Amino acid sequence: MPEEPPDVARVVRVDARACEVERGDERRMARLRGRLWEDLGEDTSPVAVGDHVRLGEDEGEWTVEEVLPRRNLFARRASGQDADRRQPLAANVDRVVVVNSLAQPPFSSAAADRILATCSFAGIPALLLLNKVDAAKPRKVRAVEETYARAGVETLAVSALRGDGLEAVRERLAEGTSVLYGLSGVGKSTLLNALHPELRLPTRPPSRQLASGRHTTTHSRLYLLPGGGDVIDTPGIRRFRPYGLPPHELRLHFPELRDLGRDCRYPDCRHVDEPDCRVRDAVAAGGLARSRYRSYLELLRELEDIHGGPAREPEDGPDHKTRR
């Protein structure tokens, strides 16, 4: 692999109008040039952790002059007053590790399914990590594993506290760059401490009153793992909303719906109320998890509200059969 030019660095943390970059063995803060903010387009920030940037220098201070082309971008729809814009989360990654809890907070199929669909849309491999198996009933663990096996999603059941499954996680993260992503309180920081004890990241127990997690990580940051590979730790979220995913394409990013949908009467079947819908037949017969179908319907309605109209493919859009 050719060495990077001496003025190229990788972003390891983003903070307002500056970022921490890594060049060789050196990490320093670098100021973002003003022109990077002038043409943001749809994005809330010009850089994301994992970006490769071209550096300059101004009176002894490192500056980011250019963000180099990305091979992929993991992003979501921003919240608040920026709700119509894209929030970049991580760039140039090899996988997204969707961390979910099987205990407290309770497992959220809605959150997992939204993130998995977004990964599929972005063309980024995903791994569903089921944490806190030490506090979960074995029947619950098996049920979740079976649901996602039918969806073609790789899963790993682990206990960051007890150590179950950690060796398998190390092996999967040993190559390339991974993103740890999930709801607040699912145990991302605890997991990372177990994989890299020297980090000593702060952790907090989830709120039992609210049955939800509490934030401990405040900024995304890239860490090198002692066994190889590196990982981007991210702040926990309350809710995840995809950005840019057209409603008529959503069914293509739920693999089991995509496969069943090939036998629907209509090639553009939304799997909502159309006749001879094989997806709805499968749900009624128990051949498709109701949780996954609920996630699909909820997200479909949300995307239709954003993009307008029922989720029909536009006449000048891509041919449905070639897309699936």
- What's the pLDDT at 218? 60
DSSP assignments along 149-198, one per residue: HHTT-EEEE--TTT-TTHHHHHHHHSSSEEEEEEBTTSSHHHHHHHH-GG
Q: Can you count the helices (H) and strands (E) in the chain?
A: 8, 13
Domains and CATH numbers, the chain: 8-69 (2.40.50.140), 74-233 (3.40.50.300), 247-323 (1.10.40.50)
For 46, how many CA atoms within 13 A lie in the half-sphere containing its CB?
20
- Do strands 26-32 and 61-67 pair parallel, antiparallel, or not at all (unpaired)? parallel
- The pLDDT of residue 39 is 84
CA dihedral defined by 54, 47, 31, 23, rounded to 10 degrees?
-50
Which DSSP letter does residue 36 get?
G
The pLDDT of residue 210 is 41
CA distance 155 to 129: 6
To the nearest 10°, report the CA torsion of 139, 183, 234, 252.
Answer: 80
Note the pLDDT of residue 214: 44
CA distance 136 to 167: 20
- pTM passes above 0.75: yes
**Contact by Cβ (8 Å): 115, 98:** yes
CA 263 from chain center: how many Å? 30
Q: What is the pLDDT along the chain (324 residues), one digit of tens a residue?
A: 445 566 999 999 998 889 999 999 899 999 999 999 998 889 999 999 999 999 999 988 999 999 999 999 999 999 888 889 999 999 999 999 999 999 999 999 999 999 999 999 999 999 999 999 999 999 999 999 999 999 999 999 999 989 999 999 999 999 999 999 999 999 998 999 999 989 888 776 655 544 444 445 568 999 999 989 999 999 888 899 999 999 999 999 999 999 999 999 999 999 999 999 999 999 999 999 999 999 999 999 999 999 886 744 544 443 333 333
